[in-house]
Amino acid sequence: MPAPALSANPQPVLELLTAFRRSKTMFAAVKLGVFDALGDGPASLETLTTRLGLHASALPRFLNALVGMGLLEHRGEDYVNSPAAEAFLTSRSPQRLTGYLNFSNRLGWKLWEHLEESLQSGTHVWSETFGGDQAIFSHFYRDESDKYEFLMGMHGFGLISSPHVVAAFDLSRFKKLVDLGGATGHLTMAACQRYPELTGCVFDLPEATPLARQMIAASPVADRVSVQDGDFFQDELPSADLYALGRIIHDWSEEKSHRLLQKIHTALPTGGALLIAEKLLQEDHLGPDWAQMQDLNMLVCTEGRERTLSEYRKLLTSAGFSQVTGQVTTSPADAILAVK
């Protein structure tokens, strides 16, 4: 008897059914040090079994799955990191995303387990998942190792996206950029490299600025970038004709975002501007996938959300800005420019 014809293509459902398995496999490989164990070149299964201390029968199943995912490659009988794994998944790479992956494995994974509760309550499930009333950001900085790795994960994202963000508009008319919550200074350094007349300042919490000073000191624009400790909600902002907020606004409630934007508007001279780096939702909210998934991530993790350009325009004009334009990039962050 012939099999009944399918009423629709099952492939999207089948792919999503196993998507979490692929994510967890990558997270586990980072946590267990698989990519670091191959940092010096190809290694045999026997060698990796010894280096990693994993079960001899389980490890080849794990490694072969990583080959299938494009994160490892076979070289004869040996295993070797793929170029993507070497660049983004080894702890010694300056481009690494491991801090963000470890956050996703240790914290994000558990928060997403409670997505249903967030959808019912309309807010994050931090307290329900981990207990206590501390903000999520305090957990990024709970010890020096966590702080360093999380900031380096954000730095890896910044190296991918910041050059695109600072190239989205002609910023050559501005003289002084202050990046609020600028972390390692990736956006400021990218801007100063693109615009030779620009000087920059990274303004962030004192927990973050030592690493910013270290990263900037090694950059070719170190003589044009300074670092200042501060809380952009509480402290006076350094003077500038261009401020930047990279992956900041999407963390906060409408009220806190409005208050911060008003503060920036007040600090700017006429003709000054604010550069925002966030992923824009399409006007119909039906894409892109990265922004939609980040929007849900903000729901379970923070007070904030992702927005369309029209929604950013409404938020920014309510804070006093006049001209608001946006540019979609090919990177994990798009760009919005708001002029006073």
Every domain of the chain and the residues it spans: 11-88, 140-339
Partners of 324 in the beta sheet?
Answer: 338
The 3-state DSSP class for residue 81 equals: strand
Distance CA 19, CA 310 (A): 32
Q: Is 168 exposed, middle or buried (0-12, 13-18, 19+ CB in 10 A)?
A: buried
Among 184, 191, 178, which Cα is nearest to 156's? 184
185 pLDDT higher than 60:
yes
**How far is residue 182 from each of residues 84, 203, 316, measured CA to CA in Å?**
26, 6, 20
**pLDDT computed for residue 154 by the predictor:** 85
Q: Give the confidence band of 141 by pLDDT, cuts at 50, 70, 90.
A: low
Helices 209-217 and 144-167, interaxial angle, to 10°?
60
Q: Would you say the CATH fold of 140-339 matches that of 11-88?
A: no
Among 59, 85, 64, 61, which Cα is nearest to 74's? 64
Query: What type of residue sits at position 297?
Result: N
Q: Are 331 and 160 in contact (CB under 8 A)?
A: yes
C-beta pairs of 119-124 under 8 Å, 24+ apart in sequence? 119/299, 123/299, 123/303, 124/299, 124/300, 124/301, 124/302, 124/303
pLDDT tens readout for residues 143-164: 677 778 778 888 888 999 999 9
135 pLDDT higher than 60:
no
Distance CA 271, CA 173 (A): 10
**pLDDT computed for residue 107 by the predictor:** 85
Q: Which of 250, 258, 265, 285 is catalytic?
A: 250
Helices 186-194 and 144-167, interaxial angle, to 10°?
30
CATH number of 11-88: 1.10.10.10
215 pLDDT higher than 80:
yes
Q: Structurally, what CATH architecture does the domain formed by 140-339 represent?
A: 3-Layer(aba) Sandwich (3.40)
**pLDDT computed for residue 2 by the predictor:** 72
Q: Are 153 and 332 in contact (CB under 8 A)?
A: no
What is the share, in percent, of the chain residues with pLDDT greater than 70?
96
Averaged pLDDT score across all residues of the chain: 93
pLDDT tens readout for residues 164-180: 999 999 999 999 999 99
74 is catalytic: no
Among 302, 171, 284, which Cα is nearest to 248's? 302
pLDDT tens readout for residues 276-295: 999 999 999 999 999 999 99
Query: What type of residue sits at position 170?
Result: D
pTM summary value: 0.92
pLDDT tens readout for residues 216-259: 999 999 999 999 999 999 999 999 999 999 999 999 999 999 99
Across the range 53-73, mean pLDDT stands at 98
**pLDDT computed for residue 140 by the predictor:** 60
pLDDT tens readout for residues 4-61: 788 899 999 999 999 999 999 999 999 999 999 999 999 999 999 999 999 999 999 9
Distance CA 59, CA 307 (A): 43
